[in-house]
Amino acid sequence: MLKYIIRLDDACPTMDWKRWDSIFNILDKYKIKPIVAVVPNNKDKKLIANKARGNFWEIVKRWEDKGYYIAMHGYNHKYISKKSGLIPMNNQSEFAGVDQKLQRNKIKKAWSIFISNKIKPKIWIAPSHTFDKNTLKILKEETEIEVVSDGIAYYPYNRFGFVWIPQQLWWFSLKKYGIWTICLHPNNMSMKKIYELDNILNSNLEYFVLDLNEVIDNFKNRTVNIKDNLFFYKFFTMRKLSIIKNNLFKNSYEK
């Protein structure tokens, strides 16, 4: 089996609406329902691309009504820790290594913002992929979220009482098998790249997931296997080597 999921990160009132709307129009054309990571109370200045839209939550509700999969993307997208947590992707976090009381406060506030706007997020997405076991424990206690969009594996799996839908790509790459989540950041995408996405979907639509609930149901009891663990190890080994190589090149260039 080979399938791809589209995930769009950093939706908030000040997002780049032109780029986001262009991507939504493309996805709607192909009847693809993306995962949309919504920051409930953005305080990250890097996510300010436009003047805030006052009807933002009405728009998010329309996304939900259209069948988009709304995800709770942290609380305010501000990094207060240098821990990576369960996934060694980045050393900056809103949650990993943070005191449980503060984590609980953030998650409760985030959840209440969605609920007060009559939206029930189904998925957890931590800013920078960084969170820990305490984050998941609190999510269980304070929300109804049962799915995590993160992790490195070939197929979704169950861990710590959540269904994890792996997120392994940041652009389309043809694979032989597996379920691959492509994480896009519309705020940072050029219009050329957005048009390229249209061409990719047009040529490869058969491989894209149209019903995420079916994926969740099919893999909700799966556990990771040896192939997944080897993939995890290889992924982060190559990532570390790439970072070292880039730093060496940068230092050499600066000299």
- Low-confidence residues of the chain, pLDDT below 70? 243-255
Name the DSSP class of 40: T
- At residue 247, the pLDDT reads 54
- At residue 239, the pLDDT reads 83
CA distance 37 to 70: 6
- At residue 108, the pLDDT reads 98
- Which backbone phi and psi does 203 adopt, to 5 degrees? -90, -20
CA distance 209 to 248: 39
CA distance 156 to 181: 10
User: What pLDDT digit, counting tens, does each position of 100-111 carry?
Assistant: 999 999 999 999
- At residue 250, the pLDDT reads 45
Cα-Cα end-to-end distance for the chain = 49
User: What pLDDT digit, counting tens, does each position of 73-88 carry?
Assistant: 999 999 999 999 999 9
**Would you mind telling me the total number of residues written for the chain in this entry?**
255
- At residue 88, the pLDDT reads 92
- At residue 245, the pLDDT reads 53
Classify 159 as helix, strand or coil: strand
CA distance 245 to 151: 24
